[in-house]
Structure 1
Amino acid sequence: MTLKEEFATRNFSIYGQWTGILAMILLFALGIANIFTFNVVIIIFCALAFVSAFVIVFIEIPLLLRICPTSATFDAAIRKISTNYTRALAYAVMGTVQFLSIIGRPTSLIAGAVVLIIAALFYALAGIKGQAFVGSKTLGGQGVAQMIV
């Protein structure tokens, strides 16, 4: 299934997954862009943006859990975030944390927070509509990990 065909399925979990990947890239870039400030609060939120980006990589690309050396505790925690509702909650929490970055001063980290909230909304919509979670084949879902290992 191509990426175009995946988007044509109108499954909100696919939209959430790709929005999550966009959020991960954005959080990493904005974390780098804002970490060179002299505001300690902003530096802390940049570090939290890096942590969020790291967690999103493992949530959205399940193949990495098989090939990267991580602890069993970390793997178990990431595997718990497997349904649409748990993903929506995880993204909402990460988005809320990034929105709190305005405590220091408003920065571009807010853009990452907005994209995280949009991903949470996509996953919540998938859960409300009763759509099963469908991982993108492009990102290692739906049997790709089993084919490689």
Structure 2
Amino acid sequence: MGLISIVLLIVLGIVSFLSHIVFSIVGWVIAFILIFVEVPLCMKFCPTSPRFDSFVAFFENSWFRAIMYLVFAVVMFLSNLISTGPLIAAAVALLLAAICYGFAAFRGQAFASTSMLGGTGVDNVV
């Protein structure tokens, strides 16, 4: 759900750019942050500051990811208070991701990463 919400934030930000300029840009910033949180490979090859690295490392916990996605969902739902637009789909995807991470945190499941996105096992390749 996290990756789907990234795609929706980028695509629907482009689609609704003329009607929701501010929230489209906010959606792109959220997508940029989520790319670094969800795709660990980006942290390996993109030059980032130690402050940004510590910010992203803070969200390795499922509880904090759930809270982050919930806050981002609320921000995107606020765009629909002004006028209804396609960003509601991104807000729903963010909310579903928050629910998924919250459920995983409640059950005590650790975050699972895949080597395809730069998680476990990529250190040997890169």
Specify the TM-score bucket, using the shorter chain as the normaliser. Answer: over 0.9
Cα offset, 1:134, TM superposition: 1.1
In structure 2, the residue corresponding to 1:147 is in which secondary structure? coil
User: Which residue does the alignment assign to 1:136?
Assistant: 114
Fraction of identical pairs, as percent: 39
Aligned pairs for 1:1-149 (under 5 A) are 19-37=1-19, 42-144=20-122, 146-149=123-126
Higher normalized contact order (CA 8 Å, seq sep 6+, divided by chain length)? 1
1:64-97 Cα distance to aligned partner (Å, 9 max, x none): 1110012221111111111111111111111110
Q: Counterpart of 2:33 in structure 1: which amino acid?
A: V
In structure 1, the residue corresponding to 2:109 is in which secondary structure? coil
Question: How many residues were matched structurally?
Answer: 126
Q: Which runs of at least 4 in structure 1 moved beyond 6 Å after TM superposition?
A: none
Q: Counterpart of 2:36 in structure 1: which amino acid?
A: F
Of 127-136 and 91-100, the range deviating more from structure 2: 127-136
RMSD between aligned residues: 1.1
In structure 2, the residue corresponding to 1:79 is in which secondary structure? helix
Gaps of 5+ in 2: none
Cα offset, 1:60, TM superposition: 0.5
